[in-house]
Every structure is written in C-alpha cells, then in structure tokens.
Amino acid sequence: MKYPTAKQFIYLTNEGVHFATFSSQQDPDRKILLCLLKQPKTLRLHQFLNLLKEESETLSLEHTIALFNKGYLVAKNTEDELDKRSIAESLPNILKELSDNQHCAIADQEGFLLAHSGFDLNQAEQAAILAVEILELQAKRQHNIQQASGERSFISIVDNDGQSQLRFVPIYLNQQVFILAIKGNPQLKNANFIHLVWLLGQRYL
C-alpha cells in the first residue's frame, strides 16, 4: 500500500463513493468520506487532516490511512476541481454517462425530478414517481433484500427474459436521499458517478 505524501491530493475512489452513499446509517468511515464530498476541490493531506479536526476530535490520521487500505481513498499528484457550472447545467451531461444507452433520471425522496437524460419529460417524471415508491419499499425491506442478494443490491424492473429494463439506485447523503432511475445497463463504476455524488454533496451536505 502506497500512503499519501504531504504534497499529494486526497481523492475518493469509486468504491469510497459507493460506500459513503449506499446507506444513511452513521459510520465513522462514512463520516470522513462525506467530509470530502463537501469540498469544491480535492485537498492536500494536511488540509484534509485540518478539516477532520474541525469536524470531530475523534477522527485521525490513523483512521484516514485505514481508508486507503480499504480502497476508499487514493492519493494523486494533481488537483481536481468541480465544474463551476450550475447543478442544473451539469447534471444532464453526467447522467447520460451512467447508462449504456444514455437514459437516466434523478429525483429526490419527495419525487422532485432534478434532471434527466434520454427520457422525454413525461417519461422522466413517471420514473421519478416510481422511484419514490421503490425507495419506500427498499427502505422497508432493505434487510430482506440484503439477505437475498447482498449488501449493496438494488431493485430493478425486468422483462420476460429477466433483463433489467429500469434499475433504481439510491444515493444517501446523510438524511437527504436521491434515487437514480437507469434504463439499460448502469455504468456506475466510473468517474462520472463520483462527480455526480460530489456535485450533489456541494448543495446537500
């Protein structure tokens, strides 16, 4: 394991973003990762440690190093900064990269449609309504879902051949919840998903 140097910048990995947002349950690891999502640009190691001191006296360098060992954080030599465009301008371009056929919508837990790509407006609004109902079901039956198919499992609508037609992926930012409705094969193990969550973190954390 290569540990960060003082001059390097701290990045969330895709695995780290998924862990930070797949549950609203309080967790020391999750608390650190969410701290990073609140920042408009990546921090150097010393800046990050100062931030942790402000957030909690119990968070430490040793804890941060443990997150590197778990694959949640990585150090890089270059800085990254979020696009300065508004969230309304940025979201559609990010969402289209989260599906292999560029169909994706995102809504909050009240059913408000934040943005969409690929769907027409009526389809996206219907997906948002359905997403809220799915979110309620998933929240009630999360234990059963996890027992049946693993810790990070999501609800999908499938066709007669068992192929997923619409998949619903919740994103928890503490008590604020968003849900992605993705048509086609989800593309969530890439930088676009990281930037989506990072962008949401600027406004909602």
Q: pLDDT per residue over 136-162, tens digit each?
A: 877 765 655 555 555 556 677 776 766
46 phi and psi angles, rounded to 5 deg: -65, -35
Q: Residues 47-73: what's their mean pLDDT?
A: 83
Q: Residue 102: which region, alpha, beta or left (left: phi > 0; alpha: psi -120 to 50)?
A: left
Contact indicator for 124, 183 with CB cutoff of 8 Å: no
CA distance 131 to 27: 26
Instruction: Please calculate the CA angle 109-110-114 and round it to the nearest 5 degrees.
Output: 80
pLDDT band at 59 (very low <50, low <70, confident <90, very high): low
CA distance 94 to 92: 5
Residue type, 148: A
pTM (2 decimals)?
Answer: 0.89
Q: Residue 79: which region, alpha, beta or left (left: phi > 0; alpha: psi -120 to 50)?
A: beta
Q: pLDDT digits over 85-112, tens only?
A: 888 899 999 999 999 999 999 999 999 9
Angle, in degrees to the nearest 10, between helices 191-204 and 28-37 = 90
Mean pLDDT of the chain: 87
Contact indicator for 68, 4 with CB cutoff of 8 Å: yes
DSSP state of 163: -
* pLDDT of amino acid 100: 94
Q: Residues 176-191: what's their mean pLDDT?
A: 94
**CA 35 to chain CA centroid, nearest Å:** 13
